[in-house]
Amino acid sequence: VTSQHFADRLLAAIEAKQSHVVVGFDPDYDLIPPDVTDAHRPEAYSCEQEMKAACYRQFLGAILETVCDDAVAVKIQIAHFEALGALGYALYEDLVKPARERGLLVIADVKRGDIGNTAEAYARAHLDGADVDAVTVNPYLGTDSVEPFVRRAREAGKGVFVLVKTSNPSSAEIQDLELSTGEPLYRRIAGVPLLVPGYGAQGAQARDLAGLFDAQGTGAVVNSSRAILYAYRKQSGMDWQEAARREVKEMKAALWEAAGRG
Amino acid sequence: VTSQHFADRLLAAIEAKQSHVVVGFDPDYDLIPPDVTDAHRPEAYSCEQEMKAACYRQFLGAILETVCDDAVAVKIQIAHFEALGALGYALYEDLVKPARERGLLVIADVKRGDIGNTAEAYARAHLDGADVDAVTVNPYLGTDSVEPFVRRAREAGKGVFVLVKTSNPSSAEIQDLELSTGEPLYRRIAGVPLLVPGYGAQGAQARDLAGLFDAQGTGAVVNSSRAILYAYRKQSGMDWQEAARREVKEMKAALWEAAGRG
């Protein structure tokens, strides 16, 4: 499977599942369903990080089962794993294999950006070591910060998403700076298949995204993290896995229609 | 001690040690002295990563002892630790306490850049969890990617180095882009105390750096990684710790003189 290019595998997954949905793994202890946190009491663990890692492991493992038929990929936001130190890093690594076994592509949202042998070390760490399908990369240091990722991804049939225009308010400060040519900076960053953040909790709706899909309706995949993971908080009385499943199915249908495929 | 601001502690260390030297921890298995690698044979470990982590642990622990009197800080390049997965991440965390106990400030060269609660998670992971003195941050996502680090650093008496102008050839592609105001992009990034990379192996000499020191000779610290760690490779017959010690002392004296303090 890995001899095929990542973009081909992503395209095949979109067609097979009729879905553009990427589920973001942004674990937040304070939002995890009480029946998960109640099953992991502090006295059973040597430290708070160990307890939280055990909660995340149970919660995210169940979410994998819940979404694997309707989502094409999971996007692991590594910051929330690093926040638990080496235990969190180990959990990140441990989630990749079960996700791939359930037919989900794994995107490591690491936003690394460095140069030379340091960029190579990051590429090896994630594309080879953790064995994810694709990584996100920050282009601020220029093409020789992106190139080691692209080279390693090409060799391994994997993918690289380059940050182009981010969704936060102050992204405009740098990304929109007007160049002497009159164009904004972000347009100078090379175009790649789009990974669109911010569906649901961050406010975007399927109709806002229709223009991002190309003529085949396959040019973009769309991430939602909290609106899926913590859907149970808006669905009183509903089982948290059922609430997540329903949210993914609704998002999937809305995007498929927005892409002109419905 | 942590109630004092990082910049004050850095300044005090420069004065106390008469040194601007930062030693970069960029472990590279292929360059580690043979008497270290020979002490860790593959058959004694369950995997290659475990063997390499044990080598790095011995090597970098000894380097800490070697440089602690003459360097003000160590800069841990986390990519080379992530390349060993969770074992490498644990080693990064384990190096911080012994470094600080030997009077060295610890800068985590993580170049993280993200927004909102993700940036907060990174700040917690490194400034609180790993308990380093300062981190490096990538500003591509704008001030709301830097602000959570600055806020947490201020609360904890720690520091943040923001990437402004990097030393790699293609850094010019983005950082030097001319804005409509006629100034290059990198000048728009807020000024901070300077952490200068690239002494020695990357080619800069003390005399090239004289202009970076302010009137008090304290406005910058200068990092060297490979030229110190692997100094033994250019000093045939010399013990590797002695070669590293000599390199640090020479660099320290050259910078002190260049800063007009000699």
Q: What ipTM was estimated for this complex?
A: 0.88
Residues of A with catalytic function: 111
From the list B119, B142, B177, which residue is nearest A172 (CB)? B142
Rounded to the nearest 10 degrees, what angle do helices A240-258 and A48-67 cross at?
50
Predicted confidence (pLDDT) at residue B190 exceeds the cutoff of 50 = no
β-pairing, B194-196 with A73-77?
Answer: unpaired
Nearest CA to A110 out of A163, A64, A68 is that of A163
Question: Given an 8 Å threshold on Cβ–Cβ distance, is B129 in contact with A84?
Answer: yes
Cα of A128 to nearest chain B Cα, Å: 9
Question: Given an 8 Å threshold on Cβ–Cβ distance, is B113 in contact with A117?
Answer: no
* A83 contacts on B by Cβ (under 8 Å): 121-122, 124-125, 129
Question: Given an 8 Å threshold on Cβ–Cβ distance, is A125 in contact with B85?
Answer: yes
Question: Given an 8 Å threshold on Cβ–Cβ distance, is B83 in contact with A125?
Answer: yes
Band (A261; pLDDT cuts 50, 70, 90): confident
Band (A143; pLDDT cuts 50, 70, 90): confident
Distance CA(B37)–CA(B29), nearest Å, equals: 8
Q: How many CA atoms within 13 Å lie on the side-chain side of B18? A: 10
Q: pLDDT by residue (tens digit) across A159-212?
A: 988 887 776 766 766 667 676 667 666 655 544 767 777 676 555 677 777 777
DSSP A36-101: HHTTS-GGGSSSHHHHHHHHHHHHHHHHHHHHTTT-SEEEEETHHHHTTHHHHHHHHHHHHHHHHH
From the list B49, B118, B189, which residue is nearest A77 (CB)? B118
Question: Given an 8 Å threshold on Cβ–Cβ distance, is B121 in contact with A80?
Answer: yes
Q: pLDDT by residue (tens digit) across B80-128?
A: 999 999 999 999 999 999 999 999 999 999 999 998 889 999 999 999 9
Q: pLDDT by residue (tens digit) across B33-80?
A: 999 999 999 999 999 999 999 999 999 999 999 999 999 999 999 999
Average pLDDT, chain A: 87
Residue A95, token pair as written in the block: 């989630």
Predicted confidence (pLDDT) at residue B211 exceeds the cutoff of 80 = no
Distance CA(B197)–CA(B252), nearest Å, equals: 15
Helices (H), B3-105: 6-17, 34-37, 48-67, 79-82, 85-101
Please report the pLDDT score of residue B191 as a whole number.
Answer: 43
Q: Which residue of A has its CA nearest to B91?
A: A86
C-alpha pair distances (Å), A127 with each of A11, A44, A141, A159, A232:
19, 34, 20, 9, 33
Catalytic residue among B75, B111, B165, B252: B111
Band (B219; pLDDT cuts 50, 70, 90): confident
Amino acid found at B131: D
Selected for mutation to probe chain A from B93, B138, B176 (highest A CB count within 10 Å) is: B138
Question: Given an 8 Å threshold on Cβ–Cβ distance, is A144 in contact with B169?
Answer: yes
Nearest CA to B6 out of B193, B191, B144, B143 is that of B193
* A177 contacts on B by Cβ (under 8 Å): 177, 179, 185, 188
Nearest CA to B116 out of A206, A246, A26 is that of A26
Residue A190 DSSP class: P
Cα of B84 to nearest chain A Cα, Å: 7
* A28 contacts on B by Cβ (under 8 Å): 117
Question: Given an 8 Å threshold on Cβ–Cβ distance, is A170 in contact with B130?
Answer: no
A71-97: average pLDDT: 97
* B112 contacts on A by Cβ (under 8 Å): 79, 111
